Structure 1
Amino acid sequence: MTTLADRSNTALVVIDLQNEVVANAYRRDEVLDTVNTLIARARSAKVPVVWIRHADEDLKAGSEGWQIVAELVPAAGEAIVEKSYRDAFEATDLEQVLSSLSVGKLIVTGAQTDMCVRSTLHGALVRGYDALLVGDAHTTEDLTQWGAPPPDAVIRHTNLYWSNQRAPGRTGGVIESKDVDFASGGC
């Protein structure tokens, strides 16, 4: 349903599952296991996996904290998009990567729910992509000391409001990992 012409393919997008980003993440190990399972299923179905990796003045490129977690390993040939803004499309080559793969539908996982995941979902939708959030495959850390709700509430709220997102000719939505069917385009 994407508004992008000739973009019938789907990609699994893995956002910022880096050592420092998920060091204190809510349900860290469960989420990483779920994402790992989705990656294996995507690869088996020949669906591209696109990795997003963040760097900025606090998270230095090349540092141990910047590395993708040891539990997840990009395969040879899988794109790793480097970013420095929350929206993975902003000032990156993500659009070119997805265009080269004829991708118009994204299945989104990663961290942090209330920052880079949300920003990238919105960025995708406004750029013409369909964007499904995997409801049990994203996480965040506890930011309550800065006024945020507890992590479980952030995740539930994001799943709630993204479940009915849509715009002319494109859709958002939330799906549980067990229901992702890469053979049929994601759902």
Structure 2
Amino acid sequence: MIVGSVLLAGGLSALAVGQGLFGGDLAASPLLGDQVNELLAQRWVPYAAVAVAFVAGFLALRWLMVQGMNDTVGRLFLERDDAGNVEMTESVARGALEQEVADYPGVRRARARLTESSDRPHLRLALTLEDDADVASVWQRVRSEAIANLRGALELDQVPTVIRMSMTAPAKNPRRSLA
């Protein structure tokens, strides 16, 4: 928004100078000096401008693609040694955790994501609570039961966790009428 405002102000001021709103002498003078005009007349300048535009376009496209990437791990490694690996898909651990938390009183919906690394995952848990839920009780149960169960299943001492809780709007009473 700031860049757009600056560009708009610059364009409007250039239009005003060109129309002679700031005096005829300023409108009649060349915009660029003779040295800049000589430089722009070189044969390599258009090619350099195209190359810079391609690089800028590539970097912008890469930035857009990175925005859509997901940081969720695919598999969780429970054990690694020379004989083989014991691993579990992230969806199994996530699904069990979501089901356990969704069964707590006052929880309408639970969504979990295991991120960061396959060896030391981090948990992001988003809970939607009923409007009359006991938030402290839900938080305490999630902390003492659900996360403890996840740590035990993954055989980890700790799982760094971010819990986001939101409340639902109260249900509308269909019997209520305007009298």
TM-score, normalised with respect to structure 2: 0.23
Higher Cα Rg, which structure: 2
Q: Which has the higher contact order (CA 8 A, sep 6+)?
A: 1
